[in-house]
Structure 1
Amino acid sequence: MYNERQEKILSILNEKGEVQVSELKEIFPQVSAMTIRRDLAYLESKGMLIRTHGGAVNIKKLTSIYGEEDAYSLRAAENVEEKMLIAEKAVKFLDSGRSIYLDAGSTIMYFSRLIPDDNFSIVTSGIITALELTKKKKITIYHTGGQLNNNTLSSAGPTALAMLDMINIDIAFMAASGFTFENGFTVSNFFECELKKTVIKKAKKVIMLIDSSKFNKVMAFTFAHLSDLDVLISDDKIPDYIVKKAEEAGVTVL
């Protein structure tokens, strides 16, 4: 099922728990770093490991650290390089003095780390995102409040919607659990769906941050379609046909 090099990578992970691409390059000098990254991507697709920034970690190690129920931590460690690339692309859309909404999700969390400590007014439904923003001294932070979702570590529900009624949103940076042309952008929680719909209606500009692993996945509730977006930011693996359809809908794709 796996080639000799991939079997060796799995053996190293089972022994050490985690490994860096630079370490693997020394072990396999005959192949490029890109080939090693492709090996890690393939093994991740088979559920054998989770890629991190610059390497990979054994799933069993993550479970022992975070616990089996901590789904957010496991997701945050997935496709880290892609999520950081998306976050870096999104930074250029920030504008000091604007009212900004940050959705919940691990990609948004990585993005929040890159936001300069400047005169921003930021509203978010994400617990982890809010905590990341507290490290900045000049940013004014508002949390929507509401019912806590243990799976996504975010808040939604009537209280959150009431909070949104009181604010204006210049730019909304959104996230999704899945996307297809037929179903649009989807999530698995009804309250989160309603909150996202409300944000998109209020925002002057909507920017979707979504990594390519979410394409062709469908969750229970649709909150937006391509026509609702101004900008779609993904990683370098976004399929060409999605880029074409998005641009036909008037969406800028990065």
Structure 2
Amino acid sequence: MALNIIDRHKLILKKLKADGFVTVNDLSEQFNVSLVTIRKDLKLLEEKKLLFRSHGKAIPVNPYITENPVQIKEKINATEKNKIAMAAVQTLEPHDSIIIASGTSVIEFARHIKPLEGLTVLSASLSTALILAKNKDIEVMQLGGMVRPSSASVIGPIGEKMLAEFTFTKLFLGVDGIDLEYGLTTTNLMEASLNKAMIKAAQKIIVLADASKFNKKGFGRICELNEVDQIITDSNIDAKTKSRLIELGVELTIV
């Protein structure tokens, strides 16, 4: 006996929750109905905002990110970002020369940095530079370029040229999205380009990202996950993502 539309929808959502995705072909075979019927089912469920359709499959939520001002972003997952920042500080060593990129997670990281012998910081964020400039024992360099009002950070070729003149021990990078296949992304193409230049200038790449950033994509692609040395995130990361990152050889620190 064929399932009715209500039962099909219940089973689709159950499978989606269990597996993290469903495909049109698999559902068609499972329910013994046409591909057209399954596409209509998924369309109806998407209209109810219960899933997001993408290339012959469906996933739980829309993975594409829209840009929000830094004043809004800093209030999101603030507790998790604080824990991540404290863990990031533990990676600092005497005489480190580091890059701090833009984003609310790395700004929180800057707030936790204490005086450390020979520490030099190059900052893309105006907020980060102002925070660290209050400490006379930290040498602070402000990256040049055009200022993005939404993030109070610099972007553009001036900053990229400046980065080419230095070598840094570590890069602390905030991102808008981490996709296991697509890699690290941000919502701004010029910021992505600047982040690529930062990666070239640094010996170790450390990403600070709360768990909400996983399985999300932004407009500008920064790099693949195999270019990342360490990700510091919170305990809300799901088991499948955690397992995959470990398989990829990324050092994962969970707070």
- Distance in 2, matches of 1:252 and 1:156, equals 28
- Distance in 1, matches of 2:109 and 2:80, equals 12
Q: Which moved more, 1:110-119 or 1:203-212?
A: 110-119
Structure 2: unaligned runs, 5 residues or longer: 1-67
- 2:120 is matched by which residue type in structure 1? S
**Pairwise mapping of residues 58-137 of structure 1 onto structure 2 (< 5 A)?**
71-118=69-116, 119-137=118-136
Q: Equivalent residue for 1:250?
A: 249
- Distance in 2, matches of 1:171 and 1:231, equals 11
Could you tell me how far 1:115 is from its partner in structure 2?
Answer: 0.8
- Distance in 1, matches of 2:216 and 2:250, equals 20
Q: Which moved more, 1:240-249 or 1:120-129?
A: 240-249
1:173-225 deviation per Cα after TM superposition (whole angstroms, max 9, x unaligned): 11100111232111111111111111112211110000111112211111022
1:125-179 deviation per Cα after TM superposition (whole angstroms, max 9, x unaligned): 0111111111211101111110111111110101101110111111111110011
Q: If the length of structure 1 is used for normalisation, what is the TM-score?
A: 0.71
Q: Equivalent residue for 1:67?
A: none
| Secondary structure in 1 matching 2:140 | strand
- Distance in 1, matches of 2:237 and 2:168, equals 28
- 1:94 is matched by which residue type in structure 2? L
**Retained in 1: the 8 A contact 2:189–2:221?**
no
Identity of aligned residues (%): 31
Q: Equivalent residue for 1:212?
A: 211
**Retained in 1: the 8 A contact 2:88–2:109?**
yes
Q: Equivalent residue for 1:191?
A: 190
| Secondary structure in 1 matching 2:178 | strand
**Pairwise mapping of residues 1-254 of structure 1 onto structure 2 (< 5 A)?**
71-118=69-116, 119-254=118-253
| Secondary structure in 2 matching 1:170 | strand
Structure 1: unaligned runs, 5 residues or longer: 1-69
- Distance in 2, matches of 1:216 and 1:249, equals 15
Task: Provide the alpha-carbon RMSD of the alignment.
Answer: 1.4
- 2:183 is matched by which residue type in structure 1? G
Could you tell me how far 1:94 is from its partner in structure 2?
Answer: 0.2
- 1:160 is matched by which residue type in structure 2? G
| Secondary structure in 1 matching 2:114 | coil
| Secondary structure in 1 matching 2:235 | coil
| Secondary structure in 2 matching 1:219 | coil
1:95-138 deviation per Cα after TM superposition (whole angstroms, max 9, x unaligned): 12111011111110111011112231000101111111112111
Q: If the length of structure 2 is used for normalisation, what is the TM-score?
A: 0.70
- Distance in 2, matches of 1:141 and 1:176, equals 22
Structure exhibiting the larger radius of gyration computed from Cα positions = 2
